[in-house]
A and B are shown apart, each in its own frame.
Chain A
Amino acid sequence: MSGEIRRDEGGQLAALDAMVFFALTMLISSSTFAYVEGVSSEHGTEAAVSGECDPGQVLSVFMRASVGVEVTLDLGGEVTISSREEVASCLSAELDAIVGGCSVDQFDPLNDALLMMLGKLVGMGYSAHLSAYRTTDDGAEPILVLEEAGCVSENRYSGSCEVPGLGGSAYVVVLVLGPALLPELGLV
Protein backbone atom coordinates (compact mmCIF):
# COMPACT_ATOMS: atom_id res chain seq x y z
CA MET A 1 0.00 0.00 0.00
CA SER A 2 1.53 3.26 -1.10
CA GLY A 3 -1.15 5.62 0.24
CA GLU A 4 -1.69 7.00 -3.23
CA ILE A 5 -5.15 8.27 -4.00
CA ARG A 6 -6.26 7.03 -7.35
CA ARG A 7 -9.03 8.60 -9.38
CA ASP A 8 -10.89 6.79 -12.14
CA GLU A 9 -14.45 6.14 -13.33
CA GLY A 10 -14.72 2.61 -11.96
CA GLY A 11 -15.96 3.57 -8.47
CA GLN A 12 -19.24 2.36 -6.97
CA LEU A 13 -22.10 4.84 -6.83
CA ALA A 14 -23.10 3.81 -3.34
CA ALA A 15 -24.31 7.32 -2.51
CA LEU A 16 -26.85 7.15 -5.32
CA ASP A 17 -28.16 3.83 -4.02
CA ALA A 18 -28.44 5.34 -0.55
CA MET A 19 -30.39 8.31 -1.88
CA VAL A 20 -32.80 5.99 -3.69
CA PHE A 21 -33.22 4.01 -0.47
CA PHE A 22 -33.87 7.22 1.46
CA ALA A 23 -36.42 8.40 -1.10
CA LEU A 24 -38.20 5.04 -0.88
CA THR A 25 -38.35 5.22 2.92
CA MET A 26 -39.84 8.72 2.68
CA LEU A 27 -42.43 7.46 0.21
CA ILE A 28 -43.37 4.51 2.42
CA SER A 29 -43.58 6.75 5.50
CA SER A 30 -45.80 9.34 3.85
CA SER A 31 -48.11 6.59 2.56
CA THR A 32 -48.33 5.19 6.08
CA PHE A 33 -49.12 8.65 7.52
CA ALA A 34 -51.80 9.30 4.90
CA TYR A 35 -53.44 5.90 5.37
CA VAL A 36 -53.54 6.03 9.19
CA GLU A 37 -54.76 9.66 9.21
CA GLY A 38 -57.49 8.80 6.69
CA VAL A 39 -58.70 5.83 8.73
CA SER A 40 -58.72 7.91 11.94
CA SER A 41 -60.70 10.85 10.51
CA GLU A 42 -63.18 8.57 8.72
CA HIS A 43 -63.79 6.66 11.92
CA GLY A 44 -64.18 9.91 13.88
CA THR A 45 -66.87 11.21 11.53
CA GLU A 46 -68.78 7.94 11.54
CA ALA A 47 -68.62 7.74 15.34
CA ALA A 48 -69.86 11.31 15.69
CA VAL A 49 -73.02 10.53 13.78
CA SER A 50 -73.71 6.94 14.77
CA GLY A 51 -73.11 7.49 18.48
CA GLU A 52 -74.49 10.97 19.01
CA CYS A 53 -77.05 12.12 16.51
CA ASP A 54 -78.79 9.72 14.13
CA PRO A 55 -81.08 11.88 11.94
CA GLY A 56 -83.60 9.08 11.36
CA GLN A 57 -83.94 8.45 15.07
CA VAL A 58 -84.12 12.18 15.89
CA LEU A 59 -86.83 12.67 13.27
CA SER A 60 -88.85 9.74 14.57
CA VAL A 61 -88.77 11.10 18.15
CA PHE A 62 -89.44 14.65 16.95
CA MET A 63 -92.53 13.66 14.95
CA ARG A 64 -93.99 11.73 17.86
CA ALA A 65 -93.40 14.44 20.49
CA SER A 66 -95.84 17.14 21.55
CA VAL A 67 -95.33 20.68 20.28
CA GLY A 68 -94.77 21.70 23.90
CA VAL A 69 -95.91 25.32 23.57
CA GLU A 70 -99.25 26.83 22.70
CA VAL A 71 -99.16 28.39 19.22
CA THR A 72 -101.69 30.83 17.79
CA LEU A 73 -102.01 31.15 14.02
CA ASP A 74 -103.86 33.71 11.95
CA LEU A 75 -105.49 31.71 9.16
CA GLY A 76 -108.26 34.14 8.37
CA GLY A 77 -109.57 33.42 11.86
CA GLU A 78 -107.50 32.75 14.95
CA VAL A 79 -106.45 29.11 15.35
CA THR A 80 -104.80 27.90 18.52
CA ILE A 81 -102.66 24.78 18.56
CA SER A 82 -102.53 23.13 21.97
CA SER A 83 -99.14 22.27 23.46
CA ARG A 84 -100.27 18.63 23.62
CA GLU A 85 -100.65 18.32 19.84
CA GLU A 86 -98.31 15.87 18.17
CA VAL A 87 -95.73 17.41 15.82
CA ALA A 88 -96.65 14.97 13.04
CA SER A 89 -100.33 16.02 13.19
CA CYS A 90 -99.42 19.72 13.13
CA LEU A 91 -97.05 19.26 10.20
CA SER A 92 -99.62 17.23 8.33
CA ALA A 93 -102.27 19.94 8.83
CA GLU A 94 -99.80 22.66 7.84
CA LEU A 95 -98.75 20.85 4.67
CA ASP A 96 -102.38 20.24 3.71
CA ALA A 97 -103.13 23.93 4.26
CA ILE A 98 -100.13 25.06 2.18
CA VAL A 99 -101.09 22.71 -0.64
CA GLY A 100 -104.65 24.05 -0.30
CA GLY A 101 -103.46 27.62 -0.93
CA CYS A 102 -102.38 29.04 2.44
CA SER A 103 -99.14 30.99 2.65
CA VAL A 104 -96.13 29.55 4.53
CA ASP A 105 -95.83 32.91 6.35
CA GLN A 106 -99.14 32.27 8.08
CA PHE A 107 -97.53 29.30 9.84
CA ASP A 108 -94.44 31.21 10.99
CA PRO A 109 -95.24 30.90 14.73
CA LEU A 110 -95.61 27.12 14.39
CA ASN A 111 -92.51 26.82 12.20
CA ASP A 112 -90.47 28.87 14.67
CA ALA A 113 -91.63 26.62 17.51
CA LEU A 114 -90.71 23.49 15.53
CA LEU A 115 -87.27 24.88 14.65
CA MET A 116 -86.61 25.82 18.27
CA MET A 117 -87.64 22.32 19.29
CA LEU A 118 -85.36 20.71 16.71
CA GLY A 119 -82.49 22.91 17.87
CA LYS A 120 -82.94 21.64 21.43
CA LEU A 121 -83.04 18.04 20.29
CA VAL A 122 -79.92 18.07 18.12
CA GLY A 123 -77.85 20.33 20.38
CA MET A 124 -75.44 23.12 19.58
CA GLY A 125 -73.06 20.97 17.55
CA TYR A 126 -75.47 20.45 14.66
CA SER A 127 -77.68 22.60 12.52
CA ALA A 128 -81.01 21.14 11.47
CA HIS A 129 -82.65 21.49 8.08
CA LEU A 130 -86.20 20.16 7.84
CA SER A 131 -88.02 19.98 4.53
CA ALA A 132 -91.27 18.44 3.34
CA TYR A 133 -92.06 17.22 -0.16
CA ARG A 134 -95.13 16.12 -2.02
CA THR A 135 -94.57 13.30 -4.46
CA THR A 136 -96.03 13.94 -7.89
CA ASP A 137 -95.69 12.29 -11.28
CA ASP A 138 -92.87 14.72 -12.07
CA GLY A 139 -90.95 13.84 -8.92
CA ALA A 140 -90.82 15.41 -5.47
CA GLU A 141 -92.14 18.94 -5.11
CA PRO A 142 -90.83 20.88 -2.09
CA ILE A 143 -93.59 22.41 -0.01
CA LEU A 144 -91.91 23.56 3.17
CA VAL A 145 -88.29 24.26 4.10
CA LEU A 146 -87.23 25.07 7.65
CA GLU A 147 -83.58 25.62 8.49
CA GLU A 148 -81.56 27.12 11.29
CA ALA A 149 -78.63 28.16 9.09
CA GLY A 150 -77.21 27.25 5.74
CA CYS A 151 -75.14 24.10 5.87
CA VAL A 152 -72.16 24.12 3.53
CA SER A 153 -70.35 21.14 4.97
CA GLU A 154 -70.02 17.93 3.01
CA ASN A 155 -70.57 15.95 6.22
CA ARG A 156 -74.36 16.00 6.21
CA TYR A 157 -76.61 13.17 7.30
CA SER A 158 -80.29 12.76 6.63
CA GLY A 159 -83.29 10.79 7.73
CA SER A 160 -86.81 10.78 6.36
CA CYS A 161 -90.31 9.64 7.16
CA GLU A 162 -93.77 9.81 5.64
CA VAL A 163 -96.58 11.95 7.01
CA PRO A 164 -100.13 11.14 5.93
CA GLY A 165 -102.11 13.99 4.38
CA LEU A 166 -105.70 14.57 3.40
CA GLY A 167 -107.35 12.27 0.87
CA GLY A 168 -104.86 9.45 1.27
CA SER A 169 -101.93 11.51 0.03
CA ALA A 170 -98.61 11.41 1.85
CA TYR A 171 -95.77 13.85 2.35
CA VAL A 172 -92.13 12.97 2.76
CA VAL A 173 -90.40 14.84 5.57
CA VAL A 174 -86.61 14.95 5.45
CA LEU A 175 -84.30 16.00 8.26
CA VAL A 176 -80.73 16.91 7.31
CA LEU A 177 -78.14 17.43 10.02
CA GLY A 178 -74.79 19.06 9.43
CA PRO A 179 -72.08 20.57 11.61
CA ALA A 180 -73.32 23.86 13.04
CA LEU A 181 -71.89 27.04 11.59
CA LEU A 182 -71.45 28.66 14.97
CA PRO A 183 -70.73 32.21 13.70
CA GLU A 184 -73.91 32.20 11.62
CA LEU A 185 -75.92 31.07 14.62
CA GLY A 186 -74.44 33.97 16.58
CA LEU A 187 -72.85 31.66 19.12
CA VAL A 188 -69.24 32.77 18.66
Chain B
Amino acid sequence: MKADEDAVGGFFEDLPVLIFVLAGVSVLVCSAVWAEGEIAQERSCTELEFAAEMLLEAACADLFPEEGVLPTVDSLNGYNLSEGVLEAAGGRGCAVAVRECYPANELLSSRSVGDAAIPAEVASASRLMNAIDGQGLTVVVEVRVCVW
Protein backbone atom coordinates (compact mmCIF):
# COMPACT_ATOMS: atom_id res chain seq x y z
CA MET B 1 0.00 0.00 0.00
CA LYS B 2 1.08 3.46 -0.80
CA ALA B 3 0.21 6.54 1.20
CA ASP B 4 0.81 9.95 -0.32
CA GLU B 5 -1.08 13.12 -1.32
CA ASP B 6 -1.44 12.35 -5.04
CA ALA B 7 -4.96 10.89 -4.89
CA VAL B 8 -7.70 12.52 -6.94
CA GLY B 9 -10.17 14.22 -4.63
CA GLY B 10 -12.91 12.89 -6.84
CA PHE B 11 -15.82 12.10 -4.55
CA PHE B 12 -17.74 15.22 -5.50
CA GLU B 13 -17.00 14.53 -9.14
CA ASP B 14 -17.78 10.80 -9.03
CA LEU B 15 -21.29 11.26 -7.71
CA PRO B 16 -22.65 13.20 -10.72
CA VAL B 17 -20.69 10.89 -13.00
CA LEU B 18 -22.36 7.91 -11.37
CA ILE B 19 -25.77 9.56 -11.81
CA PHE B 20 -25.12 10.26 -15.49
CA VAL B 21 -23.89 6.73 -16.13
CA LEU B 22 -26.80 5.14 -14.27
CA ALA B 23 -29.30 7.35 -16.10
CA GLY B 24 -27.72 6.51 -19.45
CA VAL B 25 -27.72 2.80 -18.78
CA SER B 26 -31.35 2.99 -17.58
CA VAL B 27 -32.41 4.79 -20.74
CA LEU B 28 -30.65 2.19 -22.87
CA VAL B 29 -32.17 -0.73 -20.97
CA CYS B 30 -35.68 0.79 -21.00
CA SER B 31 -35.63 1.53 -24.72
CA ALA B 32 -34.28 -1.97 -25.47
CA VAL B 33 -37.05 -3.58 -23.39
CA TRP B 34 -39.72 -1.40 -25.03
CA ALA B 35 -38.41 -2.12 -28.54
CA GLU B 36 -38.27 -5.84 -27.84
CA GLY B 37 -41.87 -5.79 -26.60
CA GLU B 38 -43.07 -3.83 -29.63
CA ILE B 39 -41.25 -6.13 -32.06
CA ALA B 40 -42.63 -9.23 -30.33
CA GLN B 41 -46.15 -7.80 -30.52
CA GLU B 42 -45.61 -6.90 -34.18
CA ARG B 43 -44.44 -10.43 -34.92
CA SER B 44 -47.45 -11.86 -33.13
CA CYS B 45 -49.78 -9.57 -35.12
CA THR B 46 -48.11 -10.56 -38.38
CA GLU B 47 -48.58 -14.24 -37.60
CA LEU B 48 -52.24 -13.65 -36.74
CA GLU B 49 -52.77 -11.66 -39.95
CA PHE B 50 -51.13 -14.42 -41.96
CA ALA B 51 -53.41 -16.98 -40.31
CA ALA B 52 -56.43 -14.77 -41.10
CA GLU B 53 -55.36 -14.53 -44.76
CA MET B 54 -54.93 -18.29 -44.96
CA LEU B 55 -58.33 -18.88 -43.38
CA LEU B 56 -59.93 -16.39 -45.78
CA GLU B 57 -58.37 -18.15 -48.78
CA ALA B 58 -59.62 -21.51 -47.54
CA ALA B 59 -63.11 -20.17 -46.78
CA CYS B 60 -63.41 -18.51 -50.20
CA ALA B 61 -62.23 -21.69 -51.94
CA ASP B 62 -64.84 -23.66 -49.99
CA LEU B 63 -67.66 -21.18 -50.64
CA PHE B 64 -66.78 -20.47 -54.28
CA PRO B 65 -65.34 -23.79 -55.51
CA GLU B 66 -65.67 -23.21 -59.26
CA GLU B 67 -63.75 -20.37 -60.86
CA GLY B 68 -66.05 -18.13 -62.88
CA VAL B 69 -69.24 -19.80 -61.64
CA LEU B 70 -71.13 -17.70 -59.12
CA PRO B 71 -72.83 -19.46 -56.21
CA THR B 72 -76.41 -18.66 -55.31
CA VAL B 73 -77.33 -16.70 -52.19
CA ASP B 74 -79.53 -19.64 -51.18
CA SER B 75 -76.51 -21.94 -51.17
CA LEU B 76 -74.57 -19.45 -49.01
CA ASN B 77 -77.48 -18.98 -46.63
CA GLY B 78 -76.79 -21.14 -43.60
CA TYR B 79 -73.75 -22.66 -45.30
CA ASN B 80 -71.84 -24.94 -42.98
CA LEU B 81 -68.12 -24.52 -43.49
CA SER B 82 -66.17 -27.76 -43.68
CA GLU B 83 -63.83 -28.81 -40.88
CA GLY B 84 -60.90 -28.57 -43.31
CA VAL B 85 -61.48 -24.83 -43.63
CA LEU B 86 -61.43 -24.29 -39.89
CA GLU B 87 -58.18 -26.26 -39.67
CA ALA B 88 -56.58 -23.54 -41.79
CA ALA B 89 -56.64 -21.34 -38.70
CA GLY B 90 -53.91 -23.55 -37.27
CA GLY B 91 -55.68 -24.44 -34.04
CA ARG B 92 -56.44 -20.83 -33.15
CA GLY B 93 -59.89 -19.57 -32.32
CA CYS B 94 -61.61 -18.25 -35.40
CA ALA B 95 -64.90 -17.06 -36.81
CA VAL B 96 -66.13 -16.96 -40.40
CA ALA B 97 -69.12 -14.89 -41.47
CA VAL B 98 -70.76 -14.48 -44.86
CA ARG B 99 -72.87 -11.34 -45.30
CA GLU B 100 -74.76 -9.95 -48.24
CA CYS B 101 -73.77 -6.28 -48.39
CA TYR B 102 -75.52 -5.13 -51.56
CA PRO B 103 -78.36 -4.63 -52.31
CA ALA B 104 -79.59 -6.25 -49.08
CA ASN B 105 -77.64 -6.09 -45.85
CA GLU B 106 -78.06 -9.36 -44.02
CA LEU B 107 -76.00 -12.08 -42.43
CA LEU B 108 -76.15 -15.26 -44.48
CA SER B 109 -74.08 -17.62 -42.35
CA SER B 110 -71.54 -17.61 -39.58
CA ARG B 111 -69.51 -20.10 -37.66
CA SER B 112 -66.91 -19.85 -34.94
CA VAL B 113 -64.66 -22.22 -33.05
CA GLY B 114 -62.42 -21.75 -30.05
CA ASP B 115 -62.62 -20.02 -26.71
CA ALA B 116 -65.39 -17.43 -26.65
CA ALA B 117 -63.62 -15.28 -24.02
CA ILE B 118 -62.56 -11.82 -25.17
CA PRO B 119 -59.22 -12.37 -26.93
CA ALA B 120 -56.21 -10.13 -26.38
CA GLU B 121 -55.36 -9.87 -30.07
CA VAL B 122 -57.56 -10.34 -33.10
CA ALA B 123 -56.72 -10.26 -36.78
CA SER B 124 -59.38 -10.04 -39.44
CA ALA B 125 -59.52 -10.21 -43.21
CA SER B 126 -62.38 -9.85 -45.63
CA ARG B 127 -63.09 -10.21 -49.31
CA LEU B 128 -65.99 -9.15 -51.48
CA MET B 129 -67.43 -11.69 -53.90
CA ASN B 130 -70.36 -11.87 -56.29
CA ALA B 131 -73.30 -14.27 -55.98
CA ILE B 132 -76.66 -14.72 -57.67
CA ASP B 133 -79.81 -14.15 -55.64
CA GLY B 134 -83.27 -15.65 -56.15
CA GLN B 135 -84.39 -12.76 -58.36
CA GLY B 136 -81.49 -13.10 -60.76
CA LEU B 137 -79.53 -10.14 -59.41
CA THR B 138 -75.76 -10.38 -59.14
CA VAL B 139 -75.32 -9.33 -55.54
CA VAL B 140 -72.22 -8.58 -53.50
CA VAL B 141 -71.36 -10.73 -50.51
CA GLU B 142 -68.59 -10.21 -48.01
CA VAL B 143 -66.65 -13.10 -46.52
CA ARG B 144 -65.07 -11.97 -43.25
CA VAL B 145 -62.83 -14.01 -41.00
CA CYS B 146 -61.45 -13.26 -37.55
CA VAL B 147 -58.61 -15.18 -35.92
CA TRP B 148 -57.45 -14.89 -32.34
Contacts and interface: CB of A to CB of B under 8 A. Distances in A.
Question: Chain A's interface: helix, strand, loop or mixed, by majority?
Answer: helix
A66 interface: yes
B13 A29 contact: no
Interface of B: 3-5, 8-10, 13-14, 16-17, 20-21, 23-25, 27-28, 30-32, 34-35, 38-39, 42, 45-46, 49, 52-53, 101-103, 105, 123-130, 135-140
Contact of A32 (B13, B35, B129): B35
Contacts of B25: 25
Given A21-B20, A52-B126, A68-B137, A121 B28 contact: no
B13 A15 contact: yes
16 contacts: A1-B3, A5-B9, A15-B17, A18-B16, A18-B21, A21-B21, A22-B23, A22-B27, A32-B31, A36-B39, A43-B46, A51-B125, A61-B130, A65-B130, A65-B140, A120-B102
B20 A19 contact: yes
Interface stretch (A6-14, A137-145, A168-176): A6-14
A77 B24 CA distance: 81
A25 B24 contact: yes
A32 B49 CA distance: 25
Interface residues of A, number: 44
Interface of A: 1-2, 4-6, 11-12, 14-15, 17-19, 21-22, 24-26, 28-29, 32-33, 35-36, 39-40, 43, 47, 51-52, 57-58, 61-62, 64-66, 68-69, 83-84, 86, 117, 120-121
